[in-house]
Amino acid sequence: MAIILIGFASSGKSATGDAVSQATGMKHVDLDRVIEDLYERRYERRLSCRDVFKDLGICGFTELERDALHSLTGMCDTVLSTGGRTPMCEDNRAFLKSLGRIVYLKCGIDTILMRMKDKGYPQSMGGSAEGVRAEWKVRDPVYSEFADIIIDNDEMTPNETARVIQESI
Exposed / middle / buried, residue 148 (Cβ in 10 Å: 0-12, 13-18, 19+): middle
What is the rounded average pLDDT of the residues 64-93?
96
Residue 112 β-bridge partners: none
Q: Which CATH class is domain 2-30+76-168?
A: alpha beta
What's the predicted TM-score (pTM) here?
A: 0.96
CA dist., res. 156 & res. 134, Å (int)? 24
CA dist., res. 102 & res. 161, Å (int)? 14
How would you classify the pairing of strands 100-106 and 149-152? parallel
Based on C-alpha coordinates, what's the Rg of the chain? 15
45-68 per-position pLDDT tens digit: 999 998 999 999 999 999 999 999
113-141 per-position pLDDT tens digit: 999 988 889 888 988 999 999 999 999 99
